[in-house]
Amino acid sequence: MPMPTDHVARISLSDEAYVRIEAAIMDGTLEPGERLRDADLVEWLGISRTPIRHALDRLAEQGLVEMERNRFTRVAAFDTVGVLESVQVAGDLWAGAALRGIAAWDDEDDDLIGDIQTDLVEAATNDDAARFVTIFEHLVVAFARVEGNNVRIRALGNVLPQVRRLGRKLHGRLDPLAVARFTRELREATTKRDGAAAVTLIDDYVTRIGVILADL
């Protein structure tokens, strides 16, 4: 029957539209306040209106797009408070994954986290803020994946898009030495399977991110 195939195609196109619109918001191609008109998006993406609307609904749920039916759809302004709240929620979810899942870690998990942490320090050293935020996201999600908690992973998927907006705001504000110290101490805690110590380090680091946000 054709129905399942059509359904899969719709999901795929919606995901493609979501990824491309979100990327354009993150890199500044679509600026805050810019109107998102269906006809323009259809022409730009080469995707029909229905999957584009599904993608816009998803972006609106994540706070990246503002919608008022029959009036406007536009890129949401950078909301410092909203981004800070998203960072805090992501931090809580990250800490929870560390506390609940770390006892089950093995050497392969240590190696995976170690590689991500090395990349994070490198991005901070090069002041590559966009890459830093992307790797930071990978680090957070990796803890949840190692834990094996799909609910936590889905919850992170809802808050991390707001966190990604930091990518264009952190240039010149990254402290490579602080990042190196944090990743080193976090690695020590995880290799010792000390979930409580990892939680303390994560909470402290998220607090430091909040201080940076307050100065934006």
Q: How far is CA 159 from the centre of its chain?
A: 7
Could you read off the pLDDT of 168-190 as tens digits, one per residue?
788 888 899 999 999 999 999 99
Name the band, by pLDDT with cuts 50, 70 and 90, for residue 11.
low
Helix, coil or strand: residue 143: helix
**What is the average pLDDT across 44-59?**
93
Q: Give 73's strand partners.
A: 67
Q: What pTM was computed for the model?
A: 0.82
Could you read off the pLDDT of 112-147 as tens digits, one per residue?
989 999 999 999 999 998 899 999 999 999 999 999
Which amino acid does the sequence have at 77?
A
* pLDDT at position 5: 46
- Structure-block tokens of residue 131: 């890459």
- Considering the chain, what percentage of its residues have pLDDT values greater than 70? 95
- Considering the chain, what percentage of its residues have pLDDT values greater than 90? 69
Which residue in the block uniquely carries the two structure tokens 């994560």? Answer: 202
